Structures are given as C-alpha cells and as structure tokens.
Amino acid sequence: MKKLLLTIIALTGTLSSWAQANYKVTGNVLDEKSEAMPFSNVLLLNEADSSLNKAVASDIDGAFILDNLTEGGYFVKISMVGYSDFISPKFKLNQDSPTLNFEPIKLSIASNELGEVTVTAKKPFIEQQIDRTVLNVENSIVASGNTALEVLEKAPGVVVDRQNNALKLKNKNGVLVQIDGRRSYLSEEALMQMLSNMNSDEITSIEIITNPSSKYDASGNSGIINIKLKKNKAFGTNGSINVAVGDSYLPNSTDDLYRASTNISLNHRNKKVNIFGTANAGRNAFYSDNHLMRSTNYEGLRSEFDQVSQRNGNGIYSSAKLGADYFATDKTTLGVMFDVNHWDGKMKSIGLTEIIETQSDITSQNSLIPSQDRDMDNWNYTANFNLKHNFNDKGKEVTFDADYSGFRNYAFQTFSTDYFDGNQNLTENILQQNSTPSDINIYAAKVDFVIPTENKIKIEFGAKTSYVKTDNDFVFEVDNDGTWTVDPSKTNHFVYTEFVNAAYFNIGKQWDKIGFQTGLRAEHTKSEGKSITLDQSVPRSYLSLFPTAFLNQKINDKNSLRYSYSRRIGRPNYQQLNPFLFFLDPYTFERGNEYLKPQFTDNVELTYSYNNAITLTLGYAKTNDFMMQVIEQDDASRVTFQTTTNLEKVENYSANLSVPVPVAKWWNMHNNLNLYYVKYYDSDLSGGNLNVEQVAFNFYTSNNFSFKKGWSAEASMWFNSPQIMGIIKQSGPQYSVNAGIQKTVLEKKGRIKLNINDIFLTSFFEGKIDYENVDLNIDNRWSSRNVTLSFNYAFGNQNVKSSRKRSTATEDLKSRAGGNDK
C-alpha cells in the first residue's frame, strides 16, 4: 500500500502544472419589492437543445453561482412558486468571455396573488432530482431540533427498523451511510446510536441515491444515504450558533427523557486560506420496552414465556471538526481535516419473565427478574489529507485523499438475575458481568480523475486501497461466592483484518436528447477473521466485478426517461463475524457468525419524469446470499438466540411515485408513495423451507405553509403498511403525524422553531414469528413523541464561500465498524 500511495502522489505532482479556465455565471434574484429571493431554482440550459446543464438554488441573499462550466452557449431559467419564470437571452462562455455576471434579476409575482399572505421562497423539504431524492433539512420546521434518525423516518422510501436497529431503503437492507461523502465506519447498531445523537440542526440536506455509478464504492446493496452537514458560504468571516431543548412523552415509561444540544460553526476565508470548524455538544436520553410471548415444546413439556423488558438511558455526546484549505494556485488546492466524536452514556434495564410449564396436565409456574447496568465510552477519530487539481482543459481534474480513522469503544455491563418459584419465593440469584473493548484502525487512500472532451464525452477513472484491523477482546465473568470467575464459553478474543483494493472506469456521452454512461468497478478483498481464544480462523479472498449503466432520454420539454443498472455488494460488519455470544438475559442472547458471506445485489430501475417535478420509478432488485437476522430456539434448553445468516435469494419489485403539488402561493405539498412486492427464499433455513412473499407500501406527505411577518408552518405524515422481513411478519401498520411552526427574528438572521413528532404515538412495532419451532409475538415501544424548541442565529458575512465538499478515502468502511452500543 505504501508503494501505491507514493506512486499516486508522484503522479498527481507530475500533473500539477496543467491549468483550466474558470467559466462561471453569477447573479442575484430579487422579488417584486427588490428584496432578496432565497432558494429560487436557477437552471443553466444548453443553447442548442435546452437540455439541463446545471442547477443550483439561490442562497439566503438571493445570490447564485454556476461554476466549473465548460465552453459553450447557454441561457438561464429562474423559477419560484408564485412568481413568473425568468428566461435570459442566450450567451456564450469562451476564453475571451469566461464569466458572466447578470444585473439583479427581479421576478414578477404571478397573476393569482393573494392579498392576505406574504410568500417567502423556500426549498421544499423533499426534492426529486434526476438521480437522487434530496431532503432539504436545513429549512424544515418539522425536522428542526430532531435527531438525524428521526429525520430519516420522514424520508420517502426509508424505513427505520428500531426493532432490529437497522435502516432499509425501498424495503431493502444494506444501506451505505455517508457523512459529507465519507462513509461512516460503524456497525448498524452503533450507526443507529450515532444518528440518534446527531442533531438535525447540524444538517443541510440528506441525499438518497438508489443506483450509484461505478465511481462510488460498491458497498451498500440497497443504495446510499449521504448526510451533508452545514458549511458556511466571498471572503470574510461568518458562523452560526444553534441551541435546542426538548422532551419526550411516553405513558408508563420514565420521566427522564429530556434532551438538549448546542452547535457552533465558524468559517474564515481569504485569497489563500479557508479555515473552518464546528463544535457540537448535548445530552440525549432514550427509552424502549419489549413484550415477548413465546412457547416451547420438548418431550411432553410445554413452556410458555411472557417476557417484559424496559430499557432507559442517557448520555453526553460531543463532536468537533477542524479543517483548512490552502489555495496554492488558481488550479490546485490542498486541504487537511480532523474530527473527533465522543459518546459517554449509560443504560439500565429491568425485566420480568413469567414461565408456565405444563406436563401430563400438571401446571406449575415460576419467574425471574433480570436487571442490567451498562456503561459506554466510545471515541472516533478521523484525519484526512486532500489534494484537488483542475487542469487547463475544460473541466479536467484530479483529486487525491489519504485517511486514517480510529475507534476506541468500551462497554462494561453487569447482570443480576433473581429466580422465584410459584409462591414468589426467591430461590436463586446469579451475578454476571462482561467488558467489551473494541479497537478498530482503518487506513485508506484513493485517487479520482475526471476528463471531459470537446465532443461531450466524459471519462472518469480511479483507484483505491484500504486496510482494516479490528480487535475485540470480550471477557465474561460469573460471581462464585464473591469471586469473579471467567466463563470461557462466553469469553472471546477476536481479531479481524481486511484488505480491499479497487479500480473503476466510467465513460459517458451526451447527445441532443440522449445521455449515456457505463462503467465497471473491480474490487479484490482479502480478509481473515481469527478467534485467538479458540485458535480458529476463517480466511477469504475474492475478486468481484460491479458493472453500471445509465441512459437518460429526453422525449420532449416536459417528459424524460432514465434507465439504470448497477451491481453492489454488502459485506458483513465486524461484529457480525465474531462467533461468540452477546448476552442479554438467561434465555435470550445474540451470537455472531464467522461463516457469514457477503451479499450481492443486481438493481434495475426505470424512471419517468414529467416537467422536472413528477417522477415515477419502477425497480427490480435480486440479492443472492442475502444477510438477514434470524431467531432460532433450542427447545431442550428453552433458549432463544438471534444471529445473522445468508438466505439463498431475495427478490424485490418496487414502484415509487413522487408528486409535488403547489396548492397555493403560500402552501406547497409533496407526496411520495412506495409500493413493494418482496419474496424471501431459502431451501434450508433452520431446518425448514422458507418461501414467503408480500405486497407492502409506505406513504409520505409534507405540507409547507408560508405566512406574512416571518411566520411559517409545516405538517407531515408517514405511513408504513404491515410487511414481511424474512421470518418476521409485522402485525399492524406504523404511522406518525408531525407538526411545527417557525418565526424569523433579528432581521431574518435568527429563527425560532417549535415542533412535535409522533403526536398520536402510532409509530410502534408489533410482529410475529411462526416458523419451524419458533412461535413468538413481539410488541415494541420507544420514546417517539417528543417536543423540541430551537433557536438558530447566523452572524458575520453570510456570503463566505463554502469549504470544499470532499469524498474521502475511508468512506466505504466506517459503517462496518464499532461495537454493540445501544
């Protein structure tokens, strides 16, 4: 890997003398009163065929910049709900005229004006683009003060599976989560914890990409969710500060569910240097309860278990990021970035398990009360070096990234279990404890080239190398008359190493009404999972190819089609491969699977777009060796355990309809409907033949209202129908109604927001497993109804240009790291 890094650095240095003209178009959008019109849609269209070249939105001061353009003829179209469109005269950008700065552009109000309402221009919460769905979180009232996880619950096509601590996209597992283009390296459970601690006021937008190109890492069989954090926007200093307080209300839970957060962001830029930083700190609290009912039959003994458990916890989270960009020349930029995240939390759990035993018509009863205390201390460090060079040839560029990410996760848990007979007399007490330290180190580097040509052919290629080592040393102990003794059956030292080397190539061509792109990515993986305790290892080495193909067809000015295909991989996270037990209570535990294989998915999509607004997407996905959590039961010991295994095949057919509706100048609505047909198949799952299928759907609607004197409001609702998740059948629907109100203050530099989520407490989960010898009913609640009050204030020069967006080298590994933090 060292030789590869030296070669890449030498190559980029050799090419650093090339230059490029900076073609761009700038301007300001005003309303009929000559006031700034923020968030107007600004489209740069090609002169020859009116096809879209680039699209941006005006900023808070109505300014827009269309940069990194190529030589050619164009015109600009600007639109905003309630106003007539502006269409500019045609113009050309070339070596003699590389830039164009429009005089202030004033939009005229549409003829159906309402006298009682003042319209404030604003991006919709959901924006459907040609290759992705975008959630504009920054200006959403309902999203303000929420966590990132609560915002994702409102995203069309995204399901937050709180029962299994997982995310689904279009009813498929294996979502790749990125933060500013850098993949999070956390396991699903740790990732859910991170998202539940991330405040939505840190977020600008969330991008949902269901069919990424070969340039993206092949991980994530259902697509990519990219969370873009806020950055500042010409020279000077600016920043913003945000504070929020909130509380949750759930009957028969706990009173300690309040949360609070504060976030500050600063940016300074001059001609040579841009320095930026953010800091965030807060308190989060959570609660959940589970009610399980199951039965076992073994040699004439029938046992019925009625298990109730309650878990609540809280903690302090903090994060900081510091970065700098150095503009060595007009064409070359060097950058460094460091960030750190910390979670210091604790959790308590208490339960009651009642057991009714029947044998030969004789019934007896006993019970047990398990309780747990858990302390968690998790750290994550990331460092990035970035180089970007623009060549002197119409958009030709190269970027290079080198990264290090480290995780230091530690948890210490104590267990106490009291056993009672049928007369409620204490018969036994068992004390146990375990420590679960996890150290993960990740090194990666990547280089990407973009080469556009004069005949509208665009070539992209690059390479990447990464190395991961994770070290988990789990120690489980039992109290024997005051002496702690190691339990070897539950103790394990597990080390996992993985090398992934990748290369990709994309080529695309744009004609008058047809655009085509195809690519191929090759990834070679060499890994070994080794149990030092058992002196056993599972080595693997495999080469995988991931082709992609995209075709855009413009039928006319209002109708277009997009065809896409991609193949992707879902690799097991590091905890899933650990073969030892994660103890929950005497009758319930989770264990890893060292033989778990990666899953491969083929995705095909057809998207129809009308007027760049209404879209209909039809999709088909087939996954082989699908990784799925299953629950198995040992009737002799009456123990139930959860593990992850590979299913032979899963097929998923989907239809997604997105319809924005401008009801009035002051009222914008967006509706999204997803319909699925899913089929799970395995000829030998837990000794049985799994062959289940179901049609399911989910629906999302959001409504944005803009009033005079700086007032605005928002209301939304999501609904998920019952569905099948392998052997789990959801019993009833889940839905949530949310609402919020906002007031701008302090000359529009400040915003006060109040919102409430899950007003009617209707988002809880009910399910059932009836497969082979497992007969299990599940009810799950959590602290979903919360009220949040937040205040945001922006200070300084609000036109400071953003720090550069980066897609770092370690973006494909972080979602698989981390420990069992909940």
Calpha distance 70→651 (Å, rounded)? 42
Residue matched to tokens 């089609």? 561
> Where among 106, 131, 166 does a domain terminate?
106
Calpha distance 439→471 (Å, rounded)? 5
How confident is residue 117, by pLDDT bands cut at 50, 70 and 90?
Answer: very low
What's the pLDDT at 758?
A: 93
If you average pLDDT over residues 769-798, what whole number do you get?
Answer: 87
> Pick the residue with more confidence: 10 or 483?
483
State whether the Cα torsion 43-46-50-53 is positive or negative.
negative
Q: Among 174-188, 514-528, 667-681, 782-796, whose mean pLDDT is lowest?
A: 174-188
Residue of 603, 619, 614 lying closest to 674 (CA atoms)? 619
If you average pLDDT over residues 679-690, what whole number do you get?
Answer: 92
Residue of 311, 303, 389 lying closest to 780 (CA atoms)? 311
Which residues constitute the domain of residue 53? 2-106
Most distant CA atoms of the chain, gap in Å:
97
Per-residue pLDDT tens over the stretch 210-233: 767 777 776 665 677 888 776 544
**3-state SS track over 72-84:** EEEEEEEECCCEC
What's the pLDDT at 393?
A: 59
What's the pLDDT at 253?
A: 93
If you average pLDDT over residues 145-154, what whole number do you get?
Answer: 69
115 is a domain residue: no
What's the pLDDT at 488?
A: 87
What's the pLDDT at 338?
A: 93
101 is a domain residue: yes
Residue of 52, 16, 30 lying closest to 552 (CA atoms)? 52
**3-state SS track over 438-476:** EEEEEEEEEEEEEEECCCCEEEEEEEEEEEEEEEEEEEE
Read off the amino acid at residue 246.
G
What's the pLDDT at 331?
A: 85
Calpha distance 491→475 (Å, rounded)? 5
If you average pLDDT over residues 324-332, what whole number do you get?
Answer: 87
Is the pLDDT at 779 greater than 80? The verdict is yes
542 is a domain residue: yes
Q: What percent of the chain has pLDDT over 70?
A: 81
> Pick the residue with more confidence: 732 or 161?
732
What's the pLDDT at 665?
A: 81
What's the pLDDT at 6?
A: 42
Are residues 97 and 245 located together in one domain of the fold? no
38 is a domain residue: yes
What's the pLDDT at 395?
A: 74
Is the pLDDT at 513 greater than 60? The verdict is yes
Per-residue pLDDT tens over the stretch 344-381: 999 999 999 999 999 988 999 999 999 999 999 999 99
Residue of 149, 175, 190 lying closest to 818 (CA atoms)? 190
Calpha distance 290→115 (Å, rounded)? 53
129 is a domain residue: no
Is the pLDDT at 208 greater than 60? The verdict is yes
If you average pLDDT over residues 105-133, what whole number do you get?
Answer: 56
Is the pLDDT at 51 greater than 60? The verdict is yes
**E strand segments, 665-749:** 667-685, 688-706, 711-720, 724-725, 728-730, 734-745
Is the pLDDT at 23 greater than 80? The verdict is yes
What's the pLDDT at 166?
A: 65
If you average pLDDT over residues 25-53, what whole number do you get?
Answer: 80
Are residues 94 and 241 located together in one domain of the fold? no
Count of domains for the chain? 2
How confident is residue 479, by pLDDT bands cut at 50, 70 and 90?
Answer: very high
What's the pLDDT at 320?
A: 92
Are residues 645 and 788 located together in one domain of the fold? yes
What's the pLDDT at 38?
A: 74
Q: The domain that contains 692 carries what CATH number?
A: 2.40.170.20
Count of alpha carbons within 13 angstroms of residue 461, beta-carbon side: 5
What's the pLDDT at 121?
A: 42
If you average pLDDT over residues 85-100, what whole number do you get?
Answer: 86
Q: Among 280-284, 399-403, 803-807, whose mean pLDDT is lowest?
A: 803-807
229 is a domain residue: no
Q: The domain that contains 20 carries what CATH number?
A: 2.60.40.10
Per-residue pLDDT tens over the stretch 377-415: 999 999 999 998 988 656 788 999 999 999 898 999 999
Is the pLDDT at 611 greater than 50? The verdict is yes
Per-residue pLDDT tens over the stretch 714-764: 899 999 999 998 899 999 999 999 999 989 898 878 889 999 999 999 999
> Where among 106, 132, 152 does a domain terminate?
106
Per-residue pLDDT tens over the stretch 550-560: 898 888 878 88
What's the pLDDT at 683?
A: 93
153 is a domain residue: no
Burial, 329: exposed, middle or buried (Cβ in 10 Å; 0-12, 13-18, 19+)? exposed
If you average pLDDT over residues 438-448, what whole number do you get?
Answer: 92
601 is a domain residue: yes
**Mean pLDDT over each residue of the chain, to the nearest integer:** 82
**3-state SS track over 165-185:** CEEEECCECCEEEEECCEEEE
How confident is residue 706, by pLDDT bands cut at 50, 70 and 90?
Answer: confident
> Where among 51, 77, 106 does a domain terminate?
106
If you average pLDDT over residues 82-88, what whole number do you get?
Answer: 82
What's the pLDDT at 803?
A: 47
